[in-house]
Amino acid sequence: MMDNLLEVRDLRIAFRVDKKTTHEAVKGVSFDVPREATVALVGESGSGKSVSSLAVMGLLPPDTTLIDPAGSIRFDGRDVLHLPLAERRALCGRDIAMIFQEPMSSLNPVFTVGFQIGEVLRRHMGMSARQARARTLELLGEVGIPDPATKIDAYPGQMSGGQQQRVMIAMAIACEPKLLIADEPTTALDVTIQKQIVELIARLQQRRRMAVLFITHDLGLVGEIADHVIVMRHGEVREAGPAAQVFNAPRDAYTRALLHCRPPLDARPLRLPVIADYLEGKATVAPQKKRGYAPGDEIVLDVKNLSKSFWLREGLFGKREFQAVKDVSFQLPRGKTLGVVGESGSGKTTVGLTLLRLHQATGGSALFEGRDLLAMPDKEYHAYKRRIQIVFQNPYASLNPRFTVGQILLEPMRLHCIGANDAERVAMARALLERVGLPAQALHRWPHEFSGGQRQRIAIARCLTMKPEILVCDESVSALDVSVQAQVLNLLQDLQDEFALSYIFISHDLAVVKYISDRVMVMRQGEVVECADADELYANPQHPYTRALLAAIPRGAAK
């Protein structure tokens, strides 16, 4: 019999919506985490996986949460749900630790990272300030932070996303916990940083003999790290078992759907399957789509030697130039997609924002119908604004929460005099909502009433009100679950086929870029290091940096 460190039995959690209504988020979930093993908790947003982990940590809001007393959470033989508060805090600070998804929201921006790690050591290990600082330096070195002696006095805002996540890991392992809970620790990170973080957690687990509960929606990532997999949906466990069995012979249709929704690297189907296809038995082998630029393609955008610099303060009066984009050139044909890939800080988003004049270019040109978008006066550029639009990464931040969906869609049409009157514009808005897969009744609802995938559809519909010819998609599917991501990618492909839209698709997810792109441009430190048709680049990468990016893609092979 396997020795379990954590045993969850019949866990039921509900949240009070109002005085009369409750929402049951977790419905009788049971699972085990053996000692020194890695267990992956997998599912889409709303499946209950994060809520279950927060219940283990005691971090659910007590005033709105109802936990069924018939259920139990036992850690190392102790029933943690019935421990006194002081004992629960000591247990969760020392023996159970958690890495959260968003390091920038979890780290206090006004304290140095050294102070924040040291606080854990002083509180739970009883160390003096000097002892805590010395141990913090060791921890920063252990998690791979360069130059720990300098970084210990840095603030979170002075570090990259990958370094912030390493600080969170250092804080989590500071007290040498028996169980490490990692809640979506790599979702917003580049593939190379993601691979580094996953490998780091695996090394720390072996070295410190920890158990790990790894929470994610990416089954491709899970296959490389997990010993056991638990698949959740709508607050229930749909399938559980050894990773090899779940990957090679999944019993549940939902598990099979999660495995196949992600774009494959070895094929390019016309349409990606979605969850409903598998649950309703409609999944079929889709025909393949041919990609690539052709010699006779009509070029709609010709970018030459695009450059963008920012001036950074240095010292009291000095400043220095930072070149974010250096002499970038490319062409975009009508009805085709240019994928732009690279790590954070490579300049890919700056290229998109500069083309839309949200940044002022330092040099170069962007010819659209023979006119330079970057050089024309503001008054003249106004007529071109609607013809090149952008879909931002975060639909939660890009939609005005004080506007209804109808107001969000009608405002740009009014500004650009699209439609003869409001009645015609409302009809156009209804048609666009239907086109992106949302009901016409959504016009009267607010952004917060929609899921992330639905909000991204609203953002796409807003762009389509302008009847654009070029759409810049800036990490527009990176924060979505694999099934919702498949829906949005299918929508983008349908719209391109229908309206001959041209896309500049910016992403750090190379599997998604290969699926949707005709040509791929690889950027590093503001420069283009390689550019080729998608199939050619993935089959025969020329630059070492491109090969490193491709090698970091999770392949999903079970351990």
Least confident segment among 42-46, 240-244, 329-333, 365-369: 42-46
Q: Is the pLDDT of residue 556 over 70?
A: no
User: Which letter, b or e, does each residue of 364-383 get, where b requires 16 or more Cβ atoms within 10 Å of its Cβ?
Assistant: bbbbbeeeebbeeeeeeeee
E-assigned strand segments in 508-559? 519-524, 527-533
pLDDT at residue number 510 = 84
Write the DSSP symbol of residue 269. Answer: B
pLDDT tens-digit readout, 108-152: 999 999 999 999 999 989 999 999 999 999 999 888 888 899 999
Class of residue 449 by CB neighbours under 10 A (exposed 0-12, middle 13-18, buried 19+) = exposed
What average pLDDT does the segment 89-105 reach?
Answer: 84
Q: Is the pLDDT of residue 187 over 90?
A: no
CB 212 within 8 A of CB 39: yes
CB 443 within 8 A of CB 430: yes
pLDDT at residue number 7 = 96
pLDDT tens-digit readout, 327-349: 999 999 999 999 999 987 789 99
CB 257 within 8 A of CB 275: yes
pLDDT at residue number 2 = 59
- pTM across the whole model: 0.82
pLDDT tens-digit readout, 371-393: 999 999 998 998 888 899 999 87
Q: Is the pLDDT of residue 394 over 80?
A: no
pLDDT at residue number 502 = 96
pLDDT tens-digit readout, 421-460: 999 999 999 998 988 888 888 999 998 888 777 888 899 9
What average pLDDT does the segment 518-527 reach?
Answer: 95
Class of residue 363 by CB neighbours under 10 A (exposed 0-12, middle 13-18, buried 19+) = middle
pLDDT band at 283 (very low <50, low <70, confident <90, very high): confident
pLDDT at residue number 184 = 85
- Rounded Cα distance between 236 and 166, Å, is 32
Phi, psi at 399, each rounded to 5°: -110, 130
pLDDT tens-digit readout, 469-497: 999 998 888 767 788 888 889 889 988 99
- Rounded Cα distance between 245 and 243, Å, is 5
- Rounded Cα distance between 364 and 327, Å, is 7
When the pLDDT of each residue in the chain is averaged and rounded to a whole number, the result is 89
- Tell me how many helices (H) and strands (E) the chain has: 22, 21
Q: Is the pLDDT of residue 1 over 50?
A: no
Q: How far apart are the first and last CA of the chain?
A: 21
CB 454 within 8 A of CB 448: no
- The CA–CA distances, whole Å, from 180 to 126, 174, 195, 267, 375 equal 21, 11, 18, 37, 54
Q: Which CATH architecture fits 33-60+76-257? A: 3-Layer(aba) Sandwich (3.40)
CB 531 within 8 A of CB 521: yes
pLDDT at residue number 455 = 85
What average pLDDT does the segment 524-547 reach?
Answer: 94
3-state class percentages of the chain: helix first, strand second, coil last, to nearest 5: 40, 25, 35
- Rounded Cα distance between 98 and 177, Å, is 10
Q: Which two tokens stand for residue 324?
A: 């974010």
